[in-house]
Amino acid sequence: MVTAGTVLLASTGIYLHTTLHGKLRIWRRELDQVGLKGDERLLDLGCGRGAVLIEAARRLPTGHAVGVDLWSGKDQSGNRPEVTLANAAAAGVADRVEVRTADMTALSFADGSFDVVTSALAIHNIPSPEARYRAVDEAMRVLRPGGQLIVADFWPMARKYAAHIGQGTLRGLGPGYWYGGPWLGVTMLHAVKGR
């Protein structure tokens, strides 16, 4: 009984650390390592309240960051475009941020529209494997040649996305991005679209 309680308490602590601090710290680091010049167009799939979208926009003083979501409110209470835009305004990047309602399996953007596509724990929410692969295909389609795909998702999913597109590097993000423990660890897929 004591062991189970200790494990539950530790898992809760890890989960809270990840959601409140860890994932944001990791995304800051990952976006810093992408090598952004500051004028890129970036698309964030499943942007929710805008954590990654806003961090990206901070690095794009002359660029533009577009976030798409279905705004169902299913995953997060109060998940609405106005909340994301208010968060962008509070962060001082509203002039570089746009949000749209869009299904990531059927994006309305033209081929090669973006320099970078990001996604943080969103693609796995799509119900079927076929539709998840369509979302990854859409992400690759809207990337310009040489553009970068940066997807954080649970490790089994990230591996499947990499296998589906036949490329990319996979890297576990460690305890800072665990949701309760290593059994729910997040892996980063980084792929570059061929020229």
Q: Which domains does the chain have, with CATH numbers?
A: 1-193 (3.40.50.150)
pLDDT (0 to 100) of residue 73: 54
Q: Block means of pLDDT (10 residues each) for the chain, length 195 residues?
A: 52 46 81 94 96 97 97 67 95 97 97 98 95 98 98 95 97 78 85 92
Residue 161 identity (one-letter amino acid): Y
Please identify which residue in the block is written with the tokens 């859409």: 138
